[in-house]
Amino acid sequence: MNNCPAVAPADASSPKNTQDNKLLGQSGISVDIPAQEMVGSEFDSRMMQRCLELARRALGRTSPNPLVGAVVVKDGEIVGEGFHPRAGEPHAEVFALKAAGDSARGATIYVSLEPCNHYGRTPPCSEGLINAGVSKVIVGMVDPNPLVAGGGIARLRAAGVEVVVGVEEAACQKLNEGFIHRILYKRPLGILKYAMTLDGKIAASSGHSTWVTNQDARSEVHQLRAACDAVIVGGNTVRQDNPYLTSHQVGGHNPLRVVMSRSLNLPENAHLWEVAEAPSLVLTEIGSSRDFQAMLLKKGVEVVEFPSLTPELVMTHLYERGFCSVLWECGGTLAASAIAQGAVQKILAFIAPKIIGGSNAPTPVGDLGFTTMTEALSLERVRWRVVGSDCLVEGYLPQISQ
């Protein structure tokens, strides 16, 4: 799968989904390249792919910052590499320049995101590159952050550095679709993931659901968790499945495991209350059981009370915590509310070639209030691929007018 995120909305303050399917390079921020056309040589593409490979080493750990990789090339050879490890630490370019040392003078640097041009937690990379004497900068994508937004490229060009923009642009945007969404919409990207049988059920009518999909699909879900900042379930999922929601990867990142429960009618001994491996957060409403809250706090589980617990407010809360991407792994009722409230932009549906039947067996998305097929949400930029014996369908939701 290789598609790019929806970006460049008319109103970037809106948390709702967007139908605007333009590439970042085509809109809002001006970039002098036509999208979809190959920019740069095959060698440039290979170097940019190396940048993305380096960037992925920090998967799940950089929010609210992006994943960025950089490679310094001199006389056709890589002389320095780097990636951004986490917010507050130096940017990818700084690590790559440091590794290159004096060889950076007159060299070309590839970087998957436009070099920054502002004083944030760290100083501007544009100045660092100019001071190091690089002669050419090859950029994957323009930084949507309004503090940068083409300013890094302009600064470099003003200093006489040659700049090429848009090498492997779609792949660079895809890697940072959560960061882009966060910057443009002031919300994390919401990804609804579910696994269902060929007849559209996520469990048997008894509630039994282990396992709908094969091991390959479950490993893919573990990788997905490792790349996300948080994973959300509702109380029903805790009661019925008692999940761990970890990435099951040695040394891999674990997302914050979030439970939404108005009543706190939850089991006392759920796996999610074991926080040695990964942190947990319970979101509830004011007035829910103080005793249960005290028990959770004692076990190290964070509890936050809302006057009214809704997916929309939860996404606002997670944005304020600095998150870029949130995985909804909930049941159908919560999934429907999350979709209706614009808390989901992307769908990942694993479909297993199995039939369970049962008119009461649960389905992935509950009532959306639609009564005709013309109201159905048609996904955009749909891709699918086979994962073991299952099929994974990926797509983006259109904007819902409310």
Ligand X SMILES: Nc1nc(O)c(N)c(N[C@@H]2O[C@H](COP(=O)(O)O)[C@@H](O)[C@H]2O)n1
Q: Is 331 annotated as a binding residue?
A: yes
Q: Rule CB under 6 A: is residue 111 a binding residue for ligand X?
A: yes
Closest CB to ligand X among residues 145, 288: 145
Closest CB to ligand X among residues 30, 215: 30
What's the rounded Cα separation, in Å, for the pair 327 and 345?
11
Total number of residues that touch ligand X (CB under 6 A): 20
What residues contact residue 191 under an 8 Å CB cut-off, 6+ apart?
224, 228, 325, 326, 327, 328, 344, 345, 346, 347, 348
Q: Is 333 annotated as a binding residue?
A: yes
> Within 44-73, which residues bind ligand X (CB under 6 A)?
65-66, 68
CB of 135 to ligand X, least distance (A): 18
Q: How many residues does the chain have?
A: 402
Q: Is 86 annotated as a binding residue?
A: no
Answer yes or no: 93 catalytic: yes
- One of 84, 155, 181, 257 touching ligand X (CB under 6 A): 84
Q: Is 334 annotated as a binding residue?
A: yes
Q: Where are the alpha helices (DSSP H) in 259-370?
A: 290-299, 311-320, 332-340
CB of 84 to ligand X, least distance (A): 3
Query: Which pair of structure tokens corresponds to residue 330?
Result: 């909930």
Q: Is 204 annotated as a binding residue?
A: no
Residue 71 near residue 110 (C-beta atoms within 8 A):
yes
3-state secondary structure 101-127: HHHHCCCEEEEEECCCCCCCCCCCHHH
Whether residue 9 has a cis bond before it, omega within 30° of 0: no
Would you give the distance in Å from CA 201 to the centre of its chain? 26
Query: Which pair of structure tokens corresponds to residue 193?
Result: 């993931």
The site partner of 143 among Zn ion, ligand X, none (C-beta below 5 to 8 Å per kind) is ligand X
Q: Rule CB under 6 A: is residue 148 a binding residue for ligand X?
A: yes
Q: Rule CB under 6 A: is residue 346 a binding residue for ligand X?
A: no
- What is the SS3 assignment for 139? strand
Q: Which residues are catalytic?
A: 93
> Which residues are annotated binding-site positions for NADP(+)?
195, 211, 237, 241, 331-337
Residues that bind ligand X (CB under 6 A): 65-66, 68, 84, 87, 91-93, 111, 113-116, 120-122, 125, 143, 145, 148
